[in-house]
Structure 1
Amino acid sequence: MDQDVFAWILKDRYKSTRTTALRNHGDDYEDDEVVLQTDGTSSRDEHFVDSTRLRSLLSLPGSTWTLLRFNIFIAAIICVNVIVIGLEIDLGDFTANIEDRLGWYAVENVFLLIFTFEMVARMRHHGRYYFRDPWNTLDCIIVTLGIIETWFLAPIGNASNFRMLTSLRVIRLLRLGRLVHLLRSFKELWLIIMGLVDSLKTLGWVCLLLLLVLYVCGIFTTIQIGQDTGTYGEYRISSGGWDHKEYFGTVLKSMYTLFQIVTLENWADGIVRHVVSNEPLMVIFFVLFIMLTSFGLMNLVIGVIVENTLATARTNEDRIRRQQERERSRVLAHLKDIFEMADQ
């Protein structure tokens, strides 16, 4: 609710209270309205309370609609900036001197000015609470590095031709980090990302288990296939060049081949059929291996990500609910104090 609406409600509430008092006490109340002072006393004035005093008393943020439009504008600028970075890489020289990329440098300065203005505006809006949000800290670091690179390192590197300073222009790629800030504007997408991040610990253990399975099976296939020159030596000629040493010659090669089977990329015609045509019983090994890894561990990874995404969504909903309850309690407490002072 906007602050002016609060002012209208409070003014109407005070007028109704004052009308009741006049009706009950007659001349004890005069027609002049009363203004609440900061010390809790009252004095006479023509207005009940102005919107500036009310904003200070309620400690409410700026207009929600204005803030929303500002965020939409910054999100659009971030999208345009990312597109411009891609166009400059394709059409220009991303690491050239200023003279060779003067137009791109001018556009870069425009974006940097806008993002600097955004950072300053948010600092003024949030005050000392600005850096309590880690994403605000990330934005500040990106903007600061952009200022250092664009307004200091680029001119110095251009004048002195230091190759070291020229290589530092890769800092410009850090502007892509603002995409993270943009992704937070899309709730569903952000929940997926946070679910993936929260799954990293569990995914690490799953990957370790997969690595152990690949290592053990790699040793087995190296002995069974890679070192069986008697069986596969002649098959290389008859098959038209399928080399068992290329796929299972060492443990590392066997692990890489087995990982290809896990991803089901050309696993049947490219690998398994050649092995099974010489050793039919190996079909049992490959079936069990695919069931354990592709159908087991890989689906376990998907399940972990989905579970953490749902947990993140529940946590986010609880956090929003608690914030709304705290804000509602704070506003109601302020309104209660104002009504009590108005009734005095």
Structure 2
Amino acid sequence: MASIIVGLETYPSFTENYGTLVNFIEHLILGFFIGEIFIKIGAEASHPWSYFKNGWNLFDLFIVVALLLPIDNQYFIVLRMLRLLRVFRLISALPRLQILVRALLKSLPSMGYVFLLLCILFYIYGVAGTFLFAENDPIHFSSLPKSILSLFQVVTLEGWADLMYIQMYGCERYGYDGIEALCTNPSASPLVGVLFFVSFVMLGAMITINLFVGIITSNISDSVDEFKQEQDKKLEKVIKEQNQFSKVSRLEGQLLAIQEQLKDMHSSLERIRTDISDY
């Protein structure tokens, strides 16, 4: 509900017509969030500090505290951005989504090395592309930044064949229709063009990008195992608490039985005293 309201607030007409209702619902939702925090803390019974050991609980607490901050109307945009944080509570509400987020966070260190490898690849091919194709294709390869930006287009597989054809056939025959004035030094490089772009697509788009996918997939598997272990620990904790409760219940039953026996013994003693006094 909170996420839907955040989206509806992007429509000015909706805010103008239902602003009062929206504010009421937002305060109601915020009250629900606060109540949820207190319920979770109370559920920890004699160990309320255990609530703060869970990262997702701290994340929820941060969002609620951020929404409670006194913000003036001049910082209205900041307030809206803070409200947008409520959408992220879906992560803590859906355990399966937590697995994916956890896997992505665990993948960051390994992905950093793959990203570094990709940057080196971009730099090498960017320099080579500038030397090889700057005169024939000044729009895409006249400088190193333009070359790297063009290579980013290639690695996304968006129109990479057109860039290759410009180098294969020359700018006077392909790709510069209507802008012939920019094609000052056309030169066709069919073999070099094919080798350059096909090799970059193979290395950049197929191998390196698949490394990212492989890292994330591996960490998802690990996160699923960790999630199962956490659920097993929670189940064991519940079973232990139930066993302790059962033991306490049995002890209470035994104490009640002993109390009944003591009452019977007391009654018997009273009868004996009465009989003795009669004699």
TM-score by length of 2: 0.73
Decide whether aligned partners of structure 1 residues 87 and 123 sit closer, same or farther in structure 2, where only a CA change above 3 A counts. same
Q: Kindly report which structure 2 residues correspond to 1:326-341, keeping only aligned pairs within 5 A, or say none.
A: 326-336=237-247, 338-339=249-250
Decide whether aligned partners of structure 1 residues 123 and 320 sit closer, same or farther in structure 2, where only a CA change above 3 A counts. closer
Take 1:86 and 1:131, find their aligned partners in 2: how far apart are those partners?
A: 30
Decide whether aligned partners of structure 1 residues 342 and 115 sit closer, same or farther in structure 2, where only a CA change above 3 A counts. closer
Partner of 1:179: 87
Take 2:20 and 2:250, find their aligned partners in 1: how far apart are those partners?
A: 62
Decide whether aligned partners of structure 1 residues 304 and 257 sit closer, same or farther in structure 2, where only a CA change above 3 A counts. same
SS of 2:30's equivalent?
Answer: helix
Decide whether aligned partners of structure 1 residues 316 and 148 sit closer, same or farther in structure 2, where only a CA change above 3 A counts. same
1:146·1:172 contact (CA, 8 Å) conserved in 2? Answer: no
Equivalent of 2:35 in 117, 126, 129: 117
**Aligned-residue offset at 1:258:** 1.1
Partner of 1:225: 133
SS of 2:69's equivalent?
Answer: helix
Take 1:220 and 1:281, find their aligned partners in 2: how far apart are those partners?
A: 15
SS of 1:265's equivalent?
Answer: coil
Give the letter for the 1:322 counterpart: K
Q: Kindly report which structure 2 residues correspond to 1:1-344, keeping only aligned pairs within 5 A, or say none.
A: 80-92=1-13, 101-126=19-44, 127-149=48-70, 153-154=71-72, 157=73, 166-167=74-75, 169-226=77-134, 229=135, 232=136, 244-269=137-162, 271-277=163-169, 278-282=188-192, 283-336=194-247, 338-339=249-250, 342-343=253-254
Take 1:187 and 1:125, find their aligned partners in 2: how far apart are those partners?
A: 19
Take 2:160 and 2:141, find their aligned partners in 1: how far apart are those partners?
A: 14
Give the letter for the 1:298 counterpart: I
Higher RCO by CA contacts (8 Å cutoff, separation 6 or greater): 1
Take 2:236 and 2:24, find their aligned partners in 1: how far apart are those partners?
A: 47
**Aligned-residue offset at 1:339:** 3.4
Give the letter for the 1:113 counterpart: G
Unpaired segments ≥5 residues, structure 1? 1-79, 158-165, 233-243
Q: Deviations over 1:46-75 (max 9, x none)?
A: xxxxxxxxxxxxxxxxxxxxxxxxxxxxxx
Take 1:297 and 1:106, find their aligned partners in 2: how far apart are those partners?
A: 50
Give the letter for the 1:288 counterpart: S
Q: Deviations over 1:288-314 (max 9, x none)?
A: 221111111011111111111011101
- Sequence identity, in percent? 27
Decide whether aligned partners of structure 1 residues 307 and 332 sit closer, same or farther in structure 2, where only a CA change above 3 A counts. same
SS of 2:202's equivalent?
Answer: helix
**Aligned-residue offset at 1:206:** 0.7
Query: How many equivalent pairs are there?
Result: 233
**Aligned-residue offset at 1:220:** 0.7
2:99·2:220 contact (CA, 8 Å) conserved in 1? Answer: yes
TM-score by length of 1: 0.60
Q: Deviations over 1:15-41 (max 9, x none)?
A: xxxxxxxxxxxxxxxxxxxxxxxxxxx
Give the letter for the 2:9 counterpart: E
2:155·2:201 contact (CA, 8 Å) conserved in 1? Answer: yes
Unpaired segments ≥5 residues, structure 2? 170-187, 259-279
Partner of 2:266: none
Take 1:281 and 1:264, find their aligned partners in 2: how far apart are those partners?
A: 20
SS of 1:105's equivalent?
Answer: helix
Decide whether aligned partners of structure 1 residues 172 and 184 sit closer, same or farther in structure 2, where only a CA change above 3 A counts. same
Q: CA RMSD in A?
A: 2.7
Q: Deviations over 1:104-159 (max 9, x none)?
A: 4333333333333333333333334332323222322322232234xxx34xx4xx
Q: Deviations over 1:217-256 (max 9, x none)?
A: 1111101111xx3xx3xxxxxxxxxxx1110011111111
1:199·1:308 contact (CA, 8 Å) conserved in 2? Answer: yes
Decide whether aligned partners of structure 1 residues 119 and 330 sit closer, same or farther in structure 2, where only a CA change above 3 A counts. closer
